[in-house]
Amino acid sequence: MATYLKSAPTKSQDTERLRAVRETVGGIIVDIRERGDAAVREYSEKFDKWSPDDFRLGREQIEEIIASVPEQALADIRTVQARVRAFAQHQRDSLADFEVETEPGVFLGQRNIPVGSAGAYIPGGRYPLIASAHMTVVTAKVAGVERVTACTPPIHGEIPAATVAALHLAGADEIFLLGGVQAIAAMAVGTETITPVDMLAGPGNAYVAEAKRQLFGEVGIDLFAGPTEILVIADQHADPFVVAVDLLSQAEHGPDSPAVLITTSEPLARRVIQIVEELVVDMPTADFAGPAWRDHGEVTVVDDLDAAYALADEYAFEHVQVLTGNPREALDRMRNYGALFLGEGTCVSYGDKVIGTNHTLPTRGAANYTGGLWVGKYLKTVTYQEVTDPASSAALGELCGRAARLEFFEGHARSGDIRAHKYAGAALPWAPVGL
C-alpha cells in the first residue's frame, strides 16, 4: 500500500502550446531548407540578437577566447573530460568486432563503425551547460567520429568563453556561435557554410527538442529530451537533509522538473517535505526550483523496499538515487532508469557535472526502452557475410528456395536455386532453355 503525502496535480496536456511549438519549429526548418544561411542569420538576429560576419569561430578566435578563461576553470574542464573520456573508452573497448565460421565455409561477422559526422548542441541561456560539451563531443571522438560540429548560442550578446573552451578541448572540429532551432536545422539540413551532419546530440529547450524530433529520420539523434527528473528511494537510514538537498538540486533545472521521493519511513518523508520547503525559499534558483517542487514534487510512503523498487520502476525516471542501508541491492531489483546513483556518497549532481558517466539520459518514461547517450550511440553495428564452401552455399540455396517460396518471393528463391544448381547440380525448372 502506498500513502501519498505530496502528489503532483494532474494536468491536461497543454495541446495548444505544443501545437504552437511544432508549427514554429516546422516553419523555421522549411525556411532554412529553402534559404540556407540567409534564414539562419535572420533567426539568429531575431532570437539571440546575434549576427556576426561569420558564425564559425576561427582558430585564432578560439585561442583568444580560451585565454580569457581562468586557469582553474580550464584545469577543471580537463579533469572532467579525462574522466568522461576514460569511461567512454571502457565502453568502446567492450564493443568488439568479431567473425565466426558458423558452418564449413560460412563466415558471419560484425563491425562497429562510427558515424561520419555528428552535431553537438550545447545550450546557453540561463544555464550554459558546459558539461554537455564533454558528454557529446568527447564521447563522439572516443567512438571515432571523424567530424564533430558544435553549436552553442551567445548569452546576452556575449561569447560563452568557458563553453567554447570546453568544446575545443573536447575535440570539436568546428564551433559555431549559433543557437536554437536555427542551429539544429542548419546542422541537419546544411547551408552554404554549414556542412550537414549524420546525427545530432545534446539537450535543449522545448523548441530544440521539437526540432530534433521533426528531423529524426533524416538524421539520427541521441534521445528525445524532456524536463530533468529525479527520484530518490530512501529508507529509515537516510539523512532527510541530504534527501531534501538532492531533490532540490534537480528541481532547479526548470519549473517543470519532477522531483519524487519514495520512502519506507513516514517520519523521514514528513521531515524531508519540511526541509525542502524551508530551503527552497532562499535558493538563488528558487524561481525554478520552487514551482518545480510545488507543481511536480511528490512524496510517497510505501510498506517496504520491494514496493519502493516496483513503484520506482513504474516511474522509469531519468535519475534514480538510492539512499538505503544496502543501495547496491537496486542493481538487481530495478530495470527502468536512466542512471542509478547508489548511496549517500553519490549524488545526481556528480553524474551531471564531474564523475565521468554521461549525463544525457532518457526522460518521460523512455527509460522503459532505452538507456542514455553513450559511445555506442555514435556507432553503427553492421554485419557482413561470406560463403566460400560450395557445398554450404548449395545447401543454403536449397533452404533459401523453400523459405522464400513460403512467402511468395520467387526472385529471392531463384537466387538460392541458382547456387544450388551451380554447386550441387540441382534442377532449375524455371530457367529458359539454353541459359
Give the separation between CA 201 and CA 120, rounded to whole angstroms.
Answer: 5
Quote the DSSP letter at residue 400: H
Q: Which of 272, 267, 265, 273 is nearest to 325 (CA)?
A: 265
Distance CA 54, CA 252 (A): 35
The distance of Cα 351 from the centroid of its chain, to the nearest Å, equals 14
DSSP string, 219-285: BEES----S--EEEEE-TTS-HHHHHHHHHHHHTT-TT--EEEEES-HHHHHHHHHHHHHHGGG-TT
Q: At what angle do helices 161-170 and 59-67 cross, to 10 degrees?
A: 120
Which residues are catalytic, by number?
318-319
How far is Cα 323 from Cα 343, in angstroms, rounded to an integer? 5
CA distances from 293 to 7, 204, 260, 299, 377 (A): 10, 21, 9, 10, 33
Within 10 angstroms of residue 23's Cβ, the number of other Cβ atoms is 11
Q: What is the CA radius of gyration of the chain?
A: 27
Q: What sign results for the dihedral spanned by CA atoms 356, 358, 364, 365?
A: negative
Q: What is the Cα–Cα distance from 320 to 363, expressed in whole angstroms?
A: 12
249-271 core/surface letters (b: 16 or more CB in 10 A; e: else): bbbbbbbebbbbbbbbbeebbbb
Compute the distance between CA of residue 274 and CA of residue 268 in angstroms, rounded to an integer.
10
How many other CB atoms are found less than 10 A from the CB of residue 11? Answer: 8
| Cα distances (Å, whole numbers) of residue 382 to 92, 98, 109 | 15, 11, 8
**Rounded to whole angstroms, how far apart are CA atoms 167 and 334?**
35
